[in-house]
Amino acid sequence: MSVPVLLIHGGAGGDGPWGGPTKLDPGRIDCMTIILQEVGGALERGEISALQAVTIAVQIMEDEPLFNAGRGSVLDAQGDISMDASIMNGPDGAAGACAGLKNTKHPIALARHLLDNGWPVIMIGEGAEEVGRKAGLDMVESDWLKTDLRRAQWSKWQAANDRPGSTDEDDNALSAILDHDYEIERAPAGTVGAVALDVDGEMAAATSSGGMTGKPPGRIGDSCLIGAGTWADGRVAISCTGIGEAYIRTAAARRFSDLYELTDMTLADVGDRVLEEVAPLGGRGGLIALNSHGEFILPFHTTLMYRGVWANGRITTDIGPDSTREKGKS
């Protein structure tokens, strides 16, 4: 029997010095703490599998408007919502993914539905959402997903005529766009994700995102691509956050698994290598990962990464660069 572990993240970003928590950060930390208490506790008691744990964890973060996933997703260049998500089960390699969603309340639920059905693995746009409707998944008006915060952020981006791709995970860019409106000293949190190890030694990973502020309509990031933003197998489980194009070009999540399997590198060394490989391509960001022994890492090459851990009955949450560039062992 394995000792369960649950890791979650709420996005990484920023180049400058860490300036401490913002006034909105307690809401994000509270959300992550609830997830770790409830989902981590159920995982430890053997009440849910790793696959169930990552599904529930990400779905809760999709409900928190302060994260860039589900309700609270950022707006594209036309001011519209477009959400991506993916999920993967380590034991059998089953996966599901969806992109370009505009009305699905919980994108991760649609990705999970595709995983459970087995085919197709990935769907986009209206076709994906029609599958979700037929499956009885919760659908909402697109305007319900748009928060006042994101509308204001988009208006600032539009007024500044900033380049498409000023990402929600880029603190410096958003600080300029927002001019500290809504008590924000840096970017709202970004992409959300979770990885888990259950009592049976099985792992799973899930990721969900609204993408980048001002992105071109139709743009797809790494969060919905198995092997880029999400991966789980019998050795490791990974969820990534950052500038998606670089994670796609390096197949970052699968690259992590291959390095861990084929070299004698430690988990921490592999994490650093993967982030070093995406960096030259503009891929600033981070990731969360664990192995089948319960060892875990939460590295990031940015100013901050919202992150949390449930291990050995203990909860740890953090934002800035400190001890949780750490590795841990359950």
Q: How far apart are CA 89 and CA 225, in angstroms?
A: 14
191 carries an active-site annotation: yes
| Three-state SS at 76 | coil
Q: How far apart are CA 20 and CA 318, in angstroms?
A: 11
From the list 145, 72, 76, the residue with the least C-alpha distance to 104 is: 145
**Residue 168 in contact with residue 11, Cβ under 8 Å?**
yes
Q: How far apart are CA 172 and CA 304, in angstroms?
A: 12
Q: Which residues contact 314 (CB under 8 A, 6 or more apart)?
A: none
The amino acid sitting at 249 is R
Across-strand partners of 295? Answer: 329
Q: Which residues contact 24 (CB under 8 A, 6 or more apart)?
A: 66, 182, 183, 184, 188
H or E stretch covering 246: helix 244-249
The amino acid sitting at 117 is N
**Of residues 22, 104, 167, 191, which has the active-site annotation?**
191
Residues designated as active site: 191
